[in-house]
A and B are shown apart, each in its own frame.
Chain A
Amino acid sequence: MKNEEIIQKINTLLVDEFEVEADQLNPSASIIDALGIDSLDLIDLLVLIEQNFGFKVETEEVAEIKTLQNFYDYIIKRLNGK
């Protein structure tokens, strides 16, 4: 999967499942503050990642993800086997 496709898929998930407005999807946006996702939603985000990208995220790893760009980078890195 190309990086653009991965980003598109993540954006679609955020819009469809978390009801984030498409125009809020600014890569520098903080996931918790700007996207209106709370600590419980983050748990649901981990489930969605596993269901849609086929790998498991450890909760400790999530702590490093602050912005949407961090989130894209993390998924891309994991999908590329790094």
Chain B
Amino acid sequence: MDLVLNRVVITGIGVYSCIGKNVSEVTDSLRNGKSGIGIDPVRKELGFRSCLTGIIERPKLKSLLPRTQRTKLAEEGEYAYLATSEAINNAQIDENYFNNNEVGIIYGNDSSSLAVINSVDVMREKKDTMLLGSAPVFQSMNSTVTMNLSVIFRLRGISFTVSAACASGSHSVGLGYLMVKYGLQEMIICGGAQEVNSYSMGSFDALSAFSVNHGNPTKASRPFDRDRDGLVPSGGAATIIVESYESAKKRGAKILGEIVGYGFSSNGEHISVPNVAGPTRAMELCLKDAGIAPEKIDYINAHATSTLVGDEYEAVSIDKLFGESKPYVSSTKSLTGHECWMAGASEIVYSMIMMENSFVAPNLNFENPDEKSAKLNIVSETKSTNIDMFLSNSFGFGGTNSAILVKKNNG
């Protein structure tokens, strides 16, 4: 018997980021090219080379969650809870749905360092682990988001965390897509979360990969621009409800888009220096999985983080595959900074918003191209245009690459 593959659709999105605390606020920021980047003065005291970061307000969850559930959420778990609540509402799913259907969660997250750091402080000072209380163990594991959210939302399907550096969020959506495509689950909550507390970024700052444009924070993240000097770390959370077409139709849910391709690869080379071949292969596999020709892509949400080498290599890679058709390209990291473990998921949400509202958000601060980025069709100001299909790239340390292709729902 032939294997019947499911069509995989997106029926809900939610986001909590430095450019907005929900889809509506984020839509305005994307359209208006509003940056969410600022200065964290604590980093100066801690000896950071760069104090630039996405500025995010810590959510107040006291009225939303009982103490027992709230206290076990790490910072990024709080963001993920809000983004997921919004996505569930957006998908028109009520609480009973999870009691009567097996729904899973696959979320990207690759650190939860503050609880670890605080626990070590207490142990070193007091020499008594009992004083840590019950919360740190549930806050400090990489799976903190999925373990907490599956309890809060009473989920009974697949539940695990994807840790794949800055491609975590993208791989989570890719794995959710595969599970639904092959009929293993009807619905999976996918996404990515990223902590932004000062301590969590110290070891990354040590690599001198961050921009030091302290004089002009909103100009600091400038992917593809000739004068870029590094990335700006950021965070938050973004959630995507991935569901089979049949399930969405049965529920009468609004279909926001269809995931038609997932491509992945590893570079097999350097731990932090990217290359051209790996990302190219991931994008090629994604197109092959979808059975789509490159010229069908209207928009590419680039991984481009504003680092010298990374942006250059991605530009070469995109030009290699899309040099003929020249789709619009922008990196929303110019507005948000690099949302790391969350980025792959949030950038799908950002692109979904653009597709729904027929515009491409600007690649902020793209003032002068370099030799490689000059070959791309980079959008530097908000552009009104129809998007029928977009590609979202995410690449991470260790050379892990992920590309997701999403198509507009045309019935």
Could you tell me which A residues sit within 8 Å of B by CB distance? 18-19, 36, 38, 40-41, 43-44, 46-47, 50, 56, 59
Contacts and interface: CB of A to CB of B under 8 A. Distances in A.
For the complex of A and B, list the 3 residue pairs with the smallest distance between their C-beta atoms, beginning with the closest: A40-B134, A43-B134, A47-B133
B66 interface: yes
B134 to A, nearest CB: 4
A19 B69 CA distance: 12
Given A41-B68, A50-B131, 18 more contacts: A19-B66, A19-B67, A36-B68, A40-B134, A41-B67, A43-B130, A43-B134, A44-B71, A44-B133, A44-B134, A44-B135, A46-B130, A47-B130, A47-B131, A47-B132, A50-B130, A56-B128, A56-B130
Contact of A41 (B128, B131, B134): B134
Contacts of A40: 68, 134
A78 B166 CA distance: 52
B68 A43 contact: no
A40 B135 CA distance: 8
13 contacts: A19-B66, A43-B130, A43-B133, A43-B134, A44-B71, A44-B134, A44-B135, A47-B130, A47-B131, A47-B132, A50-B131, A56-B128, A59-B130
Interface of B: 66-68, 71, 128, 130-135
A38 B138 CA distance: 15
A46 B131 CA distance: 8
Contacts of A47: 130-133
Nearest to A50: B131
A46 B134 CA distance: 10
B68 A38 contact: yes
Nearest to A41: B68
B156 to A, nearest CB: 21
Nearest to A59: B130
A78 to B, nearest CB: 16
Contacts of A46: 130
B133 to A, nearest CB: 5
Contacts of A59: 130
Contacts of B66: 19
A44 B135 CA distance: 8
Contacts of B71: 44
B169 to A, nearest CB: 29
A41 B68 CA distance: 7
Nearest to B132: A47
